[in-house]
Structure 1
Amino acid sequence: MPLAPVNGLSLYYEARGRGSPLVLVHGFACGLRIWDAQVRAFAARHRVLTYDVRGHGLSDAPADAAAYSQPISVDDLRGLLAHLGIRRAVVGGLSMGGNIALNFAIAYPTTVRALIVADTGAGSDGTAEWQAGARALAGILDRDGIEAFADAAQENPLFARYAARGPEATRFIRSCLMTHRARGLAHTAREVLARRPTVYSLEAELRRLRVPTLLIVGEHDLPCAAVHRFMAETIPGARHLVLRGVGHLTPLEAPAAFNAAVRRFLR
C-alpha cells in the first residue's frame, strides 16, 4: 500500500500513468475514488496522482483536533509532492480539495504549472449557516458514527443530486463515505470546513495569481455559483465553465464534459 510520510503522518496515494504530473485533490468525505474517471482519462498522457487527504480514507486520522486546518492540508500537499520528487505539476481540486489547490497555488505558484478549481467556495456566502452545518455534521459523526453520517450526507445538497440518480449512484456515494473514520471527518468538518477563510477574503492574492486557471462549476451548485463568478473576474486570464444540468460533483456527475474541458485547457 503506497504511503508517504508527510508532516508526521502517513498519506495514502495512488499514481497512475506517465508524463507530466497531474495532481487531483478530493472534496470533504469523498476520498480519492471520486477521481476514478479522470485517472482513466488522463493516465495515458500524465502521471496522475490522487491521495486521501489527512483524516480521510486510508490516510492517517490524527486524534488531536489541532492537527487539522486548511493551511496544514496545503502543507501536506507540498510535502507529498516533495516526497515523490514532483517539482512542478498541474494541480486540481474538487470542493474542499479545490480550496486546498487554490491556496496551494497562492502559496507555491512556481510549483503549479496550471490550476483546476471545481465546485469550490461553499461557505463563502452564508458563512454562519455553513459553519453551523459543518459543526452539525461533526456532531453526527461524534454521536452516531460513520454509518449515520453516511445516511445523513446523502440528503445533503452537495451529494443529493448525484445520489438521486438511483441505486448505483447511492451505493457509490455510500461506499466512498464508509471508507472514512468518524474521528477524521469530524475534525475536518470543525477545523477545516468551519474555520477556513472565505474565497472572497483572498481577493488580493487572487489578483496577483499568474497561474493558468480553469474554473468548473455545476449549474445547480448554488453554494458555489457566485464564488466561481468572483474567481473568474478576479484571477487574471481564468477560464470559467458552467456545466449544465450538473450539481456539486462535476467530475463524477458529468465526467465526459469535465474531462473534455480539462483536456482542452491542458493543450
Structure 2
Amino acid sequence: MLSINGVKYHVQLQGVGQPVLLLHGFTGSMNTWNTFIQDYKHCFQFISLDLLGHGLTEAPIDPDRYEMQKAAKDIKDILIALNIQSAHILGYSMGGRLALGFAVLYPEFVRTLILESSSPGLEHEGERLSRAHSDAQLAERIREYGIDSFVDDWEKIPLFASQERLSNGKKAEIRQERVSHTSIGLQNSLMGMGTGSQPSFWSELKEVDFPVLLLAGALDKKFVQLALKMQNCLNRCQFETINDTGHAIHVEEPKIFGRIVSEFIRGRN
C-alpha cells in the first residue's frame, strides 16, 4: 500500500522493462489486467493499482476527493513515489478517461497513451448535466439497494452484451470483481469521476504531442464512433478496431489486445 495525498492506494509492480501504467474501469480492479501482465511481464514493468473506491484502495467519504484532477494528481504522485519519471499510460473505459486527463495535466510523465473503449468526456455542458443526473441516480440505487442488486442490473446493460459469450468461469470471475467493492466507493466514484462530473478534454486533444493508440471493439459502435472523432483531433494517432468484440477488449480478446498494445509500445522506442 502507498499513502498518497491522505489515501492508501493498493499498488503492484510486476515485470521488467519499460514502465506501463494500467488503469481499470468502473467496478473493476487491478485484477482485470492479470492475463495481459502474465503474458508480457518479461517485456514490460507493469504498474497496476486499484483506483479510488475500488478493490483494496481506500474509499474516501467525500465525493469531491474523487474528482478527475485530484485522481490524476494521485497518479502523478504514485509514479513519483515509485521513482518512475515517465511511463506508457494505458486506461480502459473510466480508467481511459482518467488516463487522458492525466496525460493532459501531466504530459511530461507520458511516453505514449493507450485508450481502450474510452472518451475525452462530454463536450457540452447540457450533456454533462444530464449525465451527472443519471450518475447520481445510479449512485442512489447503489446506496438504497446495495452492490449485488446494482451489479445484477449493471452486467445486463447493452455495453456488456458480448461478454455473455465468455466462459462461465470468466463470467463468475468478473462478477466477483464487480461485487467486491464498497457501496460508498462506487457511489462516490460515480459522483466524483463519472462522465457527467469530469471536464471535457476534447479541446485539448489537438495539443497532445505524444503517440496515442485508440482501441475499440467493432460491436461497441458508440465507442468506435468516439474513437474516429478523437482520431481526427489527434496529431499522432493509431486507431485499431477489433472485430466481433465489445467494450472490454482486454477481457474478450486478451491475445489480440496484448499483441496490438505490445507492438505499439515497442514501435515507439
TM bracket, shorter-chain basis: over 0.9
2:57 match: secondary structure: coil
Alpha-carbon distance, 1:105 to partner = 1.1
Question: Is 1:237 matched up with 2:236?
Answer: yes
Alpha-carbon distance, 1:128 to partner = 5.8
1:234 match: secondary structure: coil
Measure the CA separation in 2 of the matches of 1:228 and 1:29: 23
Aligned to 2:260: 261
Aligned to 1:143: 144
5 Å matches for 1:87-102?
87-102=85-100
Measure the CA separation in 2 of the matches of 1:163 and 1:58: 27
Q: Which amino acid aligns with 2:170?
A: A
Measure the CA separation in 2 of the matches of 1:134 and 1:48: 31
For structure 1, list consecutive stretches of 5 or more residues without a partner in the other structure: none
Aligned to 1:221: 220
Alpha-carbon distance, 1:121 to partner = 1.9
Measure the CA separation in 1 of the matches of 2:75 and 2:212: 18
Aligned to 1:167: 168
5 Å matches for 1:173-212?
173-193=174-194, 194-198=196-200, 202-212=201-211
CA contact 1:123–1:130 (8 Å) conserved in 2 = no
For structure 2, list consecutive stretches of 5 or more residues without a partner in the other structure: none
Alpha-carbon distance, 1:4 to partner = 0.7
Q: Which amino acid aligns with 2:198?
A: R
Alpha-carbon distance, 1:226 to partner = 2.0
Q: Which amino acid aligns with 1:212?
A: P
Alpha-carbon distance, 1:67 to partner = 1.3
Q: Which amino acid aligns with 1:186?
A: Q
Measure the CA separation in 2 of the matches of 1:34 and 1:197: 26
Aligned length in residues? 262
- Which of 21, 27, 30 aligns to 2:28? It is 30
- Deviation readout 1:153-196 (Å, 9 max, x if unpaired): 11123333214535223212211112210101001112211311
Measure the CA separation in 2 of the matches of 1:241 and 1:132: 33
- Which of 63, 66, 87 aligns to 2:64? It is 66
TM-score (norm 1): 0.92
Would the alpha carbon gap of residues 264 and 15 (structure 1) be closer, same or farther in structure 2, given more than 3 Å must change? same
Aligned to 1:45: 43
Aligned to 2:153: 152
Measure the CA separation in 1 of the matches of 2:78 and 2:222: 30
Measure the CA separation in 1 of the matches of 2:140 and 2:165: 25
Q: Which amino acid aligns with 2:145?
A: D
Alpha-carbon distance, 1:203 to partner = 3.3
Alpha-carbon distance, 1:16 to partner = 0.6
CA contact 2:121–2:198 (8 Å) conserved in 1 = no
More displaced stretch, 60-69 vs 157-166: 157-166
Would the alpha carbon gap of residues 9 and 29 (structure 1) be closer, same or farther in structure 2, given more than 3 Å must change? same
